[in-house]
Chains A and B, each alone.
Chain A
């Protein structure tokens, strides 16, 4: 089955700096890659996603890039703010029935 690895597990950045979280996947047939943000004690919430027919997608300060050849995708957050502090999860899906999640990255934005 699919295996998703996520790095780093923890990340601290100064407010205003950029943050990058990287994920790799093993099944080249995976075709959908969402990213979730989970604040402490809350549910994971979808923040951005990308499908395999697209190489990059941007939504304001958040962007995701996908390299199908290398089988990795990354989340980029620019101009970070304290409210960006949370745990971020990447995921990969092949059929839409099962999602394989990364182990999460705890992001801390230092004011």
Chain B
């Protein structure tokens, strides 16, 4: 069966520090991969999605970037975090066509 791993679970970072969040998927090949951010009590904002290695689509302009160095690995990065980057970051994977997305357990990021 397919599983998705996301870490760390929680992270507290100072403003201006770098960020690296990692997500890996097991049990499937060539998945679509996604990064979402969720502010407290709010909906899901799509940040990036990828349909293959090295292929990244960005949905909103921001100081975040994403990379997909391997088929089942998706990384969210920032060179300098802002206070507004605080939130709950969710990685998801999905199949092709009419298949659902499945979410990881998320990373709760607090910026001080």
Count how many chain B residues have C-beta atoms less than 8 Å from C-beta atoms of the other chain.
23
B43 touches A46 (CB 8 A): no
Q: Choose among A43, A96, A98 the residue that contacts B106 (Cβ–Cβ < 8 A).
A: A43
What 19 new A-B contacts, CB under 8 Å, besides A97-B49, A98-B49? A41-B108, A43-B90, A43-B104, A43-B106, A44-B103, A46-B100, A46-B101, A89-B44, A91-B101, A96-B32, A96-B95, A96-B97, A97-B51, A99-B34, A99-B46, A101-B44, A103-B43, A104-B42, A104-B43
A residues near B46, Cβ cutoff 8 Å: 98-99, 101
Query: For the complex, what is the distance from the CA of A98 to the CA of B95, rounded to whole Å?
Result: 11
A43 touches B96 (CB 8 A): no
B43 touches A43 (CB 8 A): no
Count how many chain A residues have C-beta atoms less than 8 Å from C-beta atoms of the other chain.
24
- Which residue on B lies nearest to A31, using beta carbons? B98
| Subset of 23 A-B contacts with CB under 8 Å | A32-B97, A32-B99, A34-B100, A34-B101, A36-B103, A43-B106, A44-B44, A44-B90, A45-B103, A89-B43, A95-B97, A96-B32, A96-B94, A96-B95, A96-B96, A96-B97, A97-B51, A99-B34, A99-B46, A99-B101, A101-B44, A102-B43, A104-B42
Q: Which residues of A contact B (CB under 8 A)?
A: 31-32, 34, 36, 41-46, 49, 51, 89, 91, 93, 95-99, 101-104
Query: For the complex, what is the distance from the CA of A36 to the CA of B101, rounded to whole Å?
Result: 10
- Which residue on B lies nearest to A104, using beta carbons? B43
- Which 9 residue pairs across A and B have the least CB separation, nearest first? A32-B98, A43-B103, A103-B43, A96-B97, A101-B44, A34-B100, A46-B100, A104-B43, A51-B98
* Shortest distance from the beta carbon of B33 to any chain A beta carbon, whole Å: 11
The verdict on B5 contacting chain A, using a C-beta distance below 8 Å, is no
* Shortest distance from the beta carbon of B68 to any chain A beta carbon, whole Å: 14
B94 touches A99 (CB 8 A): yes
B100 touches A97 (CB 8 A): no
For window 11-68 of B, CB contacts with A under 8 Å fall at 32, 34, 42-44, 46, 49, 51
